[in-house]
């Protein structure tokens, strides 16, 4: 017999301790799983120092009227391209410059950019242009991807609020831009509700001139075009032509508007149009050949996305928990357009946009559920109830979602970006206004995998990726000097009129071509600067004290500014881009003499 | 197979000289010497490369000049020997082609002279290059940054200069000229000596001589 007596209280203590230990080790285990997942995610997005990302991601800058350029998968902000707003940093749209004239001629010095669209050749991104809309002032701009600079801006006549923006595949025949708000055409400032119109504009991809427009009953929200270039599609959430929220949601059904592009072109060639606002406007009720098909979908749809195989256009339900898949090949064949609907899978609450991985799966952003849902297109069409494959929480309330190259014929199926409308508690608080949150998701496997979140200033709406290997080789870093470039040693000041001077200066480390020049108060002064550097990243600036002028001149480039020298005295100009060990010494003086000082000189 | 005759030996010399002439012609279009400057900011395709050709210097000279503000070296971009190289190449070309048509008795001596001239010129060229490199690092003007002592880059080799690794080497033009000298040397040898013994073929007699 043992002398040792095991006391009951002791036993229970042991049992309780063991239980705690077990729970502890379980949660430790869960913690280590989370750590492993974090480490995996970190590895997936880490781009080693000096290495490049796989994709350029162009995100619209929203209320800043810009386009933001991020690297994917790292989520590093690499550039913001000013488009509809002046940016002194890059000498963009500074009064007295060409870019200012371009922006000013097109409208206000502010814009609201939403939908970046990359130019295509053979249905794939060709890395030439990026188009971006300005919803607020009904404009669209073309960015030259060789320089990442705004090359052209145009106003779209007749409509109000340029919203959906896409290119017509396969070779960017047109840029299509939607007029979202109902208004009287031709900017006639009319208030005649009966005359209110909306529709889609077809723009020349280079000049951005509106070649023609097609009126759509109701309005035009988001657009896309079929892969063969036959159809332009737009969601129409206001077939009611309502002017208040209540009226806009009155009917249970709205539509996807499908415009037969060749039929529209035929109508133009037959003269079946009205000239309005400097362009040709087609009223689809008055053409001999049917131009417009209004396919009914549940009320107030939003996203409008053509699948990469070109078979379907998807209307994301917004107020309906469904995505309506329309069989594009049936549109002009069925008697009842409802028969063109291939499937209407229920995907969740608040579906806004749908994107594709090229493996037959669709990904829809669910604004209300705050999720991305992955579903299989073929299963949904076949009526298989198991079409939903995965769901992932995003933070919070996603608007657009974009799978890499999802708008081309060849999506790469590796990354998906959720562009979330609210970030709430995701980032360190910066006052009551918070940045927007983007989340990068790995979609290469069956299950989605959250990789990274990164903030953006308000507010990216949509994104477009292009492979770095496809674009980087086309980007200019040192330009060949143009015919207007000032040669080394040719810096000078010329009097070109009684009260007008032209200053020519070269810029190179660490000197402006002139240490000083003199003009007279009230003179019109033009300063032309040529950066004669031959190595990359050697941008110089030109800031002129008290004149509100800053230019940025990249290697090989020539920039110009014109102003009235109305402030007398000594005004230093200096280089604003830190360039060299003698950067601070890189400056000179503009001497503005008063009439009295001129007399004294005589 | 017949033993090499006097005619075929003279033919060999002719071929050698024609090859030398062709190489001399090529020399005018080939870089003779080059330097590459590498630093963290200038690497890969951004490495600053300067190539010396007969009569000219190529490369990103503007960048070299720009950086030179800090170091203030004497860049021998207008050194007379650059043009001199072109003239020398032209002169050698004329001499070598001329030698082809000389009667063997005179050719024999002319080739010695040409060979000597080439060897001396080549050596003088290398010496001059080394002198210019010394001058570059010692006769310095407008140096605006401290910390760079006087220096002499090697003709062939590498060194550290400010934030740069500087590599120097002979390029195709330099090697082509060396080949010209070698070919001329062989021609001299062939015109003065018995040809090197040929592999003996049993039962065959061969007299290998250019005489
Ligand atoms: Cu500078």
CB pairs < 8 Å spanning A and B = 22
| CB pair distance less than 8 Å for A582 and B46 | no
Dump pLDDT digits (tens) for B132-166. Answer: 999 888 888 766 777 888 889 999 999 998 889 99
- Ion ligand 1 neighbours (CB, 5 A) are A 540, 575, 579, 586
Is A509 an interface residue toward B (CB < 8 Å)? Answer: yes
- SS3 state at A158: coil
| Nearest CA distance, A525 vs chain B (angstrom) | 29
Asked if residue A79 has pLDDT above 50, the reply is: yes
| Ramachandran class of A74: left when φ > 0, alpha when ψ lies in -120 to 50, beta otherwise | alpha
| Nearest CA distance, A588 vs chain B (angstrom) | 18
Is A498 inside a domain boundary? yes
The residue-averaged pLDDT of B24-46 equals 93
Asked if residue B50 has pLDDT above 70, the reply is: yes
Q: Tell me: cis bond preceding A172? Omega within 30 of 0 counts.
A: no
Asked if residue A370 has pLDDT above 90, the reply is: yes
Measured between alpha carbons, how far apart are the two ends of chain B, in Å? 20
Going by pLDDT thresholds of 50, 70 and 90, the confidence category of residue A152 is very high
Structure tokens at A115: 């939908």
Residue B105: predicted pLDDT: 85
Pair A374, A391: CB distance under 8 Å: yes
In B, minimum Cα distance to A477 occurs at B46
Q: Using the structure block, give the residue that is written with the tokens 């800043």.
A: A64
Rounded to a whole number of angstroms, the CA Rg of chain A reads 29
Pair A400, A461: CB distance under 8 Å: yes
Residue A190: predicted pLDDT: 79
Which residues in chain B have their CB less than 8 angstroms from residue A534's CB?
60, 62-63
Residue A17: predicted pLDDT: 59
| Nearest CA distance, A534 vs chain B (angstrom) | 7
Which residues in chain B have their CB less than 8 angstroms from residue A488's CB?
62
The residue-averaged pLDDT of A349-356 equals 97
In A, minimum Cα distance to B65 occurs at A509
Phi and psi torsions of A36, nearest 5°: -60, -45
CA geometry: angle at A506 spanning B143 and B147, to 5°? 15
Which residues in chain A have their CB less than 8 angstroms from residue B69's CB?
509-510, 582
Q: Measuring CA to CA, how many Å separate A422 from each of A43, A70, A437, A455, A516?
A: 27, 19, 7, 10, 52
Instruction: Determine the residue among A535, A536, A582 to mutate to test chain B binding: the one whose Cβ has the most chain B Cβ atoms within 10 Å.
Output: A535
Q: d(Cα A254, Cα A235) in Å, to the nearest integer?
A: 8
Of the listed ranges A14-18, A372-376, A555-559, B143-147, the one predicted with least confidence:
A14-18
Q: d(Cα A347, Cα A395) in Å, to the nearest integer?
A: 18
Phi and psi torsions of A570, nearest 5°: -95, 125
Q: d(Cα A60, Cα A131) in Å, to the nearest integer?
A: 10
| CB pair distance less than 8 Å for B144 and A534 | no
| Nearest CA distance, A469 vs chain B (angstrom) | 17
Going by pLDDT thresholds of 50, 70 and 90, the confidence category of residue A499 is very high
Going by pLDDT thresholds of 50, 70 and 90, the confidence category of residue A187 is low
Is B144 an interface residue toward A (CB < 8 Å)? Answer: yes
What domain range is A498 assigned to? 492-601
Dump pLDDT digits (tens) for A224-235. Answer: 999 999 999 999
Label the pairing between strands A66-72 and A55-60. Answer: antiparallel
Asked if residue B200 has pLDDT above 50, the reply is: no
In B, minimum Cα distance to A538 occurs at B63
Is A564 inside a domain boundary? yes
Paired strand residues for B159: B166
- Ligand 1 centroid–CA A543 distance in Å is 11
- Distant-in-sequence contacts of A218-221, Cβ < 8 A, 24+ apart: A218/A254, A218/A255, A218/A257, A219/A179, A219/A180, A219/A181, A219/A182, A220/A163, A220/A164, A220/A178, A220/A179, A220/A180, A220/A257, A221/A163, A221/A164, A221/A178, A221/A180, A221/A301, A221/A302, A221/A304
The residue-averaged pLDDT of A551-567 equals 97
Going by pLDDT thresholds of 50, 70 and 90, the confidence category of residue A12 is low
Is A508 an interface residue toward B (CB < 8 Å)? Answer: yes
| CB pair distance less than 8 Å for A508 and B145 | no
Asked if residue A21 has pLDDT above 80, the reply is: no
Q: What residues have CB less than 8 Å from A245, skipping those under 6 apart?
A: none
Residue A9: predicted pLDDT: 56
Which residues in chain A have their CB less than 8 angstroms from residue B46's CB?
535-536
The residue-averaged pLDDT of A315-337 equals 97
Continuous segment of H or E residues that includes residue A248: helix A245-248
Between B62, B144, B145, which is nearest A534 by CB? B62
| Nearest CA distance, B163 vs chain A (angstrom) | 13
Is A532 an interface residue toward B (CB < 8 Å)? Answer: yes
Paired strand residues for A542: A551
Dump pLDDT digits (tens) for A116-139. Answer: 999 999 999 999 999 999 999 999
Q: Where are the domains of chain B?
A: 3-192
Asked if residue B197 has pLDDT above 60, the reply is: no
> Which of A343, A313, A307, A309 is CA-nearest to residue A328?
A313
Residue A22: predicted pLDDT: 57
Dump pLDDT digits (tens) for B94-121. Answer: 999 999 898 888 988 999 999 999 999 9
Pair A476, A555: CB distance under 8 Å: no
Environment class of B173 (CB within 10 Å of its CB; exposed 0-12, middle 13-18, buried 19+): buried
- SS3 state at A354: strand
- Ligand 1 centroid–CA A509 distance in Å is 6
Asked if residue A1 has pLDDT above 70, the reply is: no
Between B46, B66, B145, which is nearest A509 by CB? B66
How many residues belong to chain A?
Answer: 602
What is the CATH classification number for the domain harbouring A534?
2.60.40.420
% of chain A residues with pLDDT over 70: 94
The residue-averaged pLDDT of B172-200 equals 82
Continuous segment of H or E residues that includes residue A141: strand A139-144
Asked if residue A600 has pLDDT above 90, the reply is: no
The residue-averaged pLDDT of A209-222 equals 97
Residue A592: predicted pLDDT: 97
In A, minimum Cα distance to B70 occurs at A581
Is A510 inside a domain boundary? yes
Provide the mean pLDDT of chain A.
Answer: 94
Dump pLDDT digits (tens) for A269-308. Answer: 999 999 999 999 999 999 999 999 999 999 999 999 999 9
Q: d(Cα A266, Cα B123) in Å, to the nearest integer?
A: 80
Dump pLDDT digits (tens) for A568-577. Answer: 999 999 999 9
Residue B211: predicted pLDDT: 44
Asked if residue A16 has pLDDT above 70, the reply is: no
In B, minimum Cα distance to A580 occurs at B67
The residue-averaged pLDDT of A359-375 equals 97
Q: How many domains does chain A have?
A: 1
Tell me, letter by letter, the H, E, C secondary structure of chain B.
CCCCCHHHHHHHHHHHHHHHHHHHHHHCCCCCEEEEEEECCECHHHCEEEEEECCEEEECHHHHHHHHHHHCCCCCCCCHHHHHHHHHHHHHHHHHHHHHCCCHHHHHHHHHHHHHHHHHHHHHHHHHHHHHHHHHHHCCCCCCCCCCCCCCCCCCEEEEECCEEEEEEECHHHHHHHHHHHHHHHHHHHHHCCCCCCCCCCCCCCCCCCC
Environment class of B74 (CB within 10 Å of its CB; exposed 0-12, middle 13-18, buried 19+): middle
- Ligand 1 centroid–CA B62 distance in Å is 16
Residue A538: predicted pLDDT: 95
| Nearest CA distance, A597 vs chain B (angstrom) | 37
Residue B11: predicted pLDDT: 84
Asked if residue A193 has pLDDT above 60, the reply is: yes
| Nearest CA distance, B66 vs chain A (angstrom) | 7
Phi and psi torsions of B79, nearest 5°: -60, 135
- Ligand 1 centroid–CA A581 distance in Å is 9
Is A463 an interface residue toward B (CB < 8 Å)? Answer: no
What are the DSSP calls for A184-205, one per residue?
Answer: -GGG-----GGG-EEEEEEE-T
Provide the mean pLDDT of chain B.
Answer: 85
Q: d(Cα A199, Cα A221) in Å, to the nearest integer?
A: 9
What sign results for the dihedral spanned by CA atoms A62, A65, A67, A70? negative
In A, minimum Cα distance to B66 occurs at A509
Higher pLDDT, A462 or A32: A462
Q: How far is CA A515 from the centre of its chain?
A: 42
Is A32 an interface residue toward B (CB < 8 Å)? Answer: no
Q: d(Cα B74, Cα B17) in Å, to the nearest integer?
A: 39
Label the pairing between strands B157-161 and A516-520. Answer: unpaired
Residue A15: predicted pLDDT: 58
Residue B73: predicted pLDDT: 82
| CB pair distance less than 8 Å for B144 and A582 | yes
Residue B206: predicted pLDDT: 46
Q: d(Cα A62, Cα A58) in Å, to the nearest integer?
A: 12
In B, minimum Cα distance to A511 occurs at B66
Of the listed ranges A48-57, A64-73, A348-357, B99-108, the one predicted with least confidence:
B99-108
The residue-averaged pLDDT of B66-73 equals 84
Q: d(Cα A73, Cα A451) in Å, to the nearest integer?
A: 9
Going by pLDDT thresholds of 50, 70 and 90, the confidence category of residue A185 is confident
Rounded to a whole number of angstroms, the CA Rg of chain B reads 22
């Amino acid at each position: 017999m043992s002398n040792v007596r095991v006391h009951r209280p002791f036993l229970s203590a042991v049992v309780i301790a063991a239980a705690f230990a077990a729970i502890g080790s379980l949660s430790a285990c869960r913690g280590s799983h989370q750590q492993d997942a974090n480490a995996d995610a970190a590895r997936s997005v880490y781009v080693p120092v000096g290495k490049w990302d796989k994709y350029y991601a162009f995100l619209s800058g929203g209320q800043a009227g810009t386009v933001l350029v991020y690297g994917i998968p790292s989520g590093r902000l690499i550039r913001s391209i000013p488009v509809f707003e002046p940016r002194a940093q890059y000498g963009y749209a500074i009064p007295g410059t060409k870019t200012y004239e371009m922006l000013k001629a097109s409208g206000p010095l502010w814009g609201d950019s939403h939908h970046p669209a990359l130019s295509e050749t053979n249905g794939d991104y060709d890395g030439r242009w990026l188009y971006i809309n300005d919803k607020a002032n009904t404009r669209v701009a073309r960015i030259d991807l060789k320089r990442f600079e705004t090359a052209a801006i145009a106003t779209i006549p007749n409509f109000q609020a340029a919203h959906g923006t896409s290119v017509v595949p396969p070779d960017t025949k047109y840029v299509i831009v939607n007029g979202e708000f109902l208004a009287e055409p031709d900017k006639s400032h009319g208030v005649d509700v009966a005359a209110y119109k909306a529709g889609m504009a077809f723009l020349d991809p280079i000049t951005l001139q509106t070649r023609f427009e097609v009126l759509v009953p109701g309005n035009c929200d988001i657009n896309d075009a079929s892969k063969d270039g036959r159809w332009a599609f737009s969601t129409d959430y206001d077939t009611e032509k309502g002017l208040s929220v209540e009226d806009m949601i009155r009917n249970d059904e709205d539509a996807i508007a499908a415009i037969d592009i060749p039929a529209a072109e035929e109508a133009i060639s037959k003269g079946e149009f009205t000239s309005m606002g400097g362009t040709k406007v087609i009223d689809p009720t008055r053409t001999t050949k049917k131009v417009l098909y209004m396919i009914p979908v549940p009320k107030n749809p939003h996203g409008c996305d053509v699948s990469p195989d070109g078979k379907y256009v998807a209307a994301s339900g917004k107020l309906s928990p469904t995505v309506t898949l329309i069989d594009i090949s049936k549109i002009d064949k069925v008697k009842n357009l409802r028969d063109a609907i291939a499937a209407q899978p229920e995907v969740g609450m608040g579906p806004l946009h749908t994107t594709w991985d090229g493996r037959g799966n669709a990904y829809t952003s669910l604004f209300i559920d705050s999720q991305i849902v992955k579903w299989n297109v073929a299963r949904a069409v076949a009526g298989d109830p198991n079409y939903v494959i995965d769901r992932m929480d995003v933070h919070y309330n996603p608007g657009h979602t974009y799978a890499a190259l999802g708008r081309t014929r060849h999506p790469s199926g590796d990354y998906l970006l959720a562009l979330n409308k609210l970030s709430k508690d995701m980032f360190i608080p910066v006052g009551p206004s918070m940045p927007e949150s983007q989340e990068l998701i790995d979609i290469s496997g069956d299950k989605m995998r959250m990789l990274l979140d990164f903030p953006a200033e308000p507010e990216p709406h949509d994104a477009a990726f292009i492979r770095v290997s496809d674009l980087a080789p086309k980007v200019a870093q040192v330009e060949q000097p143009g015919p207007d470039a000032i040669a080394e040693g040719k810096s000078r000041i010329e009097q070109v009129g009684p009260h007008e001077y032209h200053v020519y200066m070269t810029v190179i480390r660490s000197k402006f071509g002139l240490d000083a020049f003199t003009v007279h108060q009230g003179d019109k002064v033009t300063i032309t600067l040529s950066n004669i550097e031959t190595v990359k990243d050697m941008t110089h600036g030109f800031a002129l004290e008290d004149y509100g002028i800053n230019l940025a001149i990249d290697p090989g480039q020539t920039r110009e500014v014109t102003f009235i020298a109305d402030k007398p005295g000594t005004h230093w100009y200096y280089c604003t881009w830190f360039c060299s060990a003698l950067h601070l010494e890189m400056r000179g003086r503009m001497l503005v003499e008063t009439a009295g000082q001129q007399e004294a000189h005589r | 197979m017949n033993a090499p005759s006097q005619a075929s030996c003279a033919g060999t010399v002719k071929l050698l000289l024609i090859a030398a002439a062709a190489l001399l012609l090529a020399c005018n279009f080939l870089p003779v010497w080059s330097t590459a400057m590498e630093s963290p900011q200038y690497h890969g395709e951004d490495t600053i490369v300067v190539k010396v050709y007969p009569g000219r210097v190529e490369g990103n000279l503007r960048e070299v000049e720009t950086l030179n503000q800090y170091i203030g070296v004497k860049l021998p971009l207008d050194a007379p020997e650059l043009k001199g190289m072109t003239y020398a190449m032209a002169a050698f070309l004329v001499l070598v082609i001329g030698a082809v048509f000389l009667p063997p008795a005179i050719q024999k001596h002319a080739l010695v002279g040409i060979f000597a001239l080439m060897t001396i010129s080549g050596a003088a060229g290398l010496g001059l290059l080394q002198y210019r490199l010394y001058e570059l690092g010692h006769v310095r003007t407008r140096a605006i940054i401290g910390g760079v002592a006087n220096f002499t880059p090697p003709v062939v080799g590498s060194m550290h200069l400010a934030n740069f690794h500087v590599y120097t080497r002979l390029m195709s033009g330099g090697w082509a000229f060396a080949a010209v000298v070698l070919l001329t040397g062989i021609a001299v040898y062939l015109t003065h000596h018995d040809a090197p013994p040929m592999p003996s073929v049993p039962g065959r007699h061969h007299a290998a001589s250019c005489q």
